[in-house]
């Protein structure tokens, strides 16, 4: 039997990281953990190292690295601890690594994910912000290195499963009319509009169907998550924004659909548990057990659909506009959103002000071409400065 595949999990202490390790642990003959990274939850990272015995662990800085290294030695482990972005890039591109789970949240994941792409690794992409920020450059790098890019986002993994294998020839060429991107509508789908100004971070993070990290939970509540996913779908499947339609489907059982020109519509269904897309991407093109319970259609009984309301969810409109503008607009949208979501979680702004910040940032800064990574980070930095200026004028 061939050796187990060596897997690096970037963002191991997060929701996706932990689900990934759960799937990996079910298949020790197929997968071995090569490296794990954490950022603030370092005692959890230590426990994960004890459980999965990686070759490397990565933490944000040298002091934390020394502490973890001592703790690992005391636990009798030979795991080596690296620090910072450099450490992340090293474990993402190490020649021994077969696949990298990119599950750091936000722009912080871009460089390590690109390091894995440039090294030609199999990429399991959860970190949608990385692709949203740098779409053209990211996809160019994938083509150049021949890296296999597999979507972890449940919707994109569903679309991937419903697409013909040769979809890279272009949607028109393979008979695809539209991508139908499903959205639960989040916790505020039916909240009276006037109450949205008074919702708390806890309410925003209480997603009806999925258990996720705090940033993506707020994005789901504002539907910016669906906006980022629209941009993500355009890059992954070479679609125009007009070819991606958002469909509210509150049960989160259909994870997305592909509409073909002959009238066939293919969908992927399953319980809302990220271990399904993770197992799908890890084993692709094979299938493995994920630990997810079988779908009980009789218990679900009905599936509902409705059109999204962009007055309730202005972030969706802003993301569609950024998708259409292209160039630096998605990176600015993403960066302004990251600042706004952090401010909302810190109770510095009210929920509807997330959209106000993003709208202002996008209106103040002209869209420019982004020909290299430096230009992406410049756009990101400009948006962060403008968003902070908004906060110092209006925030608490
Ligand atoms: P979490 O907040 O649960 O986890 C984020 C991970 O990133 C943690 O390991 C965290 O470390 C680490 N991290 C945070 N900031 C930094 C930084 N500046 N540098 C390095 N590492 C950092 O998020 P999720 O797991 O929910 O989401 C991860 C990604 O996957 C996001 O891009 C999200 O959009 C995407 N995704 C998530 C889904 C889900 O169901 N959760 C579904 C689809 C996509 P620590 O915890 O130690 O601080
Ligand atoms: Mg998703």
Note the pLDDT tens digit of each residue in 124-134: 999 999 999 99
How far apart are the C-alpha atoms of 301 and 251, rounded to whole Å?
10
Q: Tell me the C-alpha distance between 79 and 269, whole Å.
A: 39
Give me the pLDDT at residue 200, please. Answer: 97
182 phi and psi angles, rounded to 5 deg: -85, 155
Among all bound ligands, the one having the nearest atom to the CA of 105 is: 1
- 40 pocket-lining for ligand 1 (C-beta < 6 Å): yes
Quickly list H helices, 75-178: 84-93, 110-118, 128-145, 154-162
Chain region(s) in the chain for CATH 1.10.1740.10: 326-396
Cβ of 176 below 6 Å from ligand 1:
no
Cα–ligand 2 centroid distance for 255 (angstroms): 8
Ligand 1 center to 173 CA (angstroms)? 36
Q: Report CA(85)–ligand 1 centroid distance (Å).
A: 15
Between the CA of 1 and the centroid of ligand 1 the distance, in Å, is: 34
pLDDT band at 77 (very low <50, low <70, confident <90, very high): very high
Percentage above 90 pLDDT, the chain: 98
Query: CATH number for the 5-151 domain, one of 3.40.50.1000, 3.40.50.720, 3.40.50.11060, 3.40.630.30?
Result: 3.40.50.720
* Mean pLDDT within 327-336: 98
Give the total residue count for the chain.
Answer: 396
pLDDT, one tens digit per residue, over 217-261 is: 999 999 999 999 999 999 999 999 999 999 999 999 999 999 999
CB of residue 216 inside a 6 A radius of ligand 1: yes
Multiple choice CATH, 326-396, 3.40.50.10490, 1.10.1740.10, 3.40.640.10, 3.40.50.1980: 1.10.1740.10
pTM over 0.75: yes
| Ligand positioned closest to the Cα atom of 48 | 1
DSSP assignment of 248-274 equals: E-TT--EEEEEEETTS-EEEEE--S-T
From 200-214, 217-231, 292-306, the region with the lowest mean pLDDT: 200-214
B/e letters for 115-128, b = 16+ CB within 10 Å, e = fewer, are: bbbbbebbbbbbbb
* 3-class state of residue 55 by DSSP: coil
Element (H, E) at 123: strand 122-125
End-to-end CA distance of the chain: give it in Å, rounded.
Answer: 60
Q: Which tens digit of pLDDT belongs to each residue from 9-43?
A: 999 999 999 999 999 999 999 999 999 999 999 99
Which ligand is in closest contact with the Cα of 223?
2
Residue closest to 19 by CA, chosen among 252, 296, 205, 292: 292
Cβ of 87 less than 6 Å from ligand 1 = no
């Amino acid at each position: 039997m061939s050796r187990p595949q060596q897997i690096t999990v970037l963002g191991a202490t997060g929701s996706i990281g932990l689900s990934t390790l759960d799937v990996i642990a079910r298949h020790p003959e197929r997968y071995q953990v090569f490296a794990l990274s954490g950022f603030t939850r370092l005692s959890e990272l230590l426990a994960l190292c004890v459980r999965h015995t990686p070759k490397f662990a990565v933490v944000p800085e040298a002091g934390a690295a020394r502490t973890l290294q001592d703790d690992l030695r005391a636990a009798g482990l030979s795991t080596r601890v690296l620090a910072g972005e450099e450490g992340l890039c090293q474990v993402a591109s190490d020649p021994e690594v077969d696949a990298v789970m990119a599950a750091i949240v936000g722009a912080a994941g871009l460089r390590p994910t690109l390091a894995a792409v440039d090294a030609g690794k199999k990429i399991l992409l959860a970190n949608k912000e990385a692709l949203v920020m740098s779409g053209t450059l990211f996809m160019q790098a994938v083509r150049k290195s021949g890296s296999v890019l597999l979507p972890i986002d449940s919707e994109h993994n569903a679309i991937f499963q419903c697409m013909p294998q040769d979809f890279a020839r272009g949607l028109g060429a393979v008979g695809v009319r539209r991508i139908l991107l499903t959205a639960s509508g989040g916790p505020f789908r039916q909240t009276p509009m006037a109450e949205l100004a008074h919702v708390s971070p806890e309410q925003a993070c209480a997603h009806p169907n999925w258990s996720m990290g705090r940033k993506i939970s707020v994005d789901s509540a504002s539907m910016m998550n669906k906006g980022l996913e629209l941009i993500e779908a355009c890059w992954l499947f070479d679609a125009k924004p007009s070819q991606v339609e958002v469909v509210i489907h509150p049960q989160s059982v259909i994870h997305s659909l592909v509409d073909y020109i002959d009238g066939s519509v293919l969908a992927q269904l399953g319980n809302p548990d990220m271990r399904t897309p993770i197992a799908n991407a890890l084993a692709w093109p094979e299938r493995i057990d994920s630990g997810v319970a079988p779908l009980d259609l009789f218990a679900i009984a009905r599936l509902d659909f409705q059109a999204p309301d962009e007055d309730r969810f202005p972030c969706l409109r802003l993301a569609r506009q950024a998708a259409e503008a292209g160039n630096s607009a998605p990176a600015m949208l993403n960066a302004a959103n990251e600042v706004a979501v952090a401010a909302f979680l810190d109770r510095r702004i009210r929920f509807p002000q997330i959209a106000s910040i993003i709208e202002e940032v996008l209106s103040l800064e002209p869209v420019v071409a982004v020909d290299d990574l430096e230009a992406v980070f410049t756009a990101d930095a400009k948006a962060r400065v403008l968003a902070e200026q908004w906060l110092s004028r209006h925030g608490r």
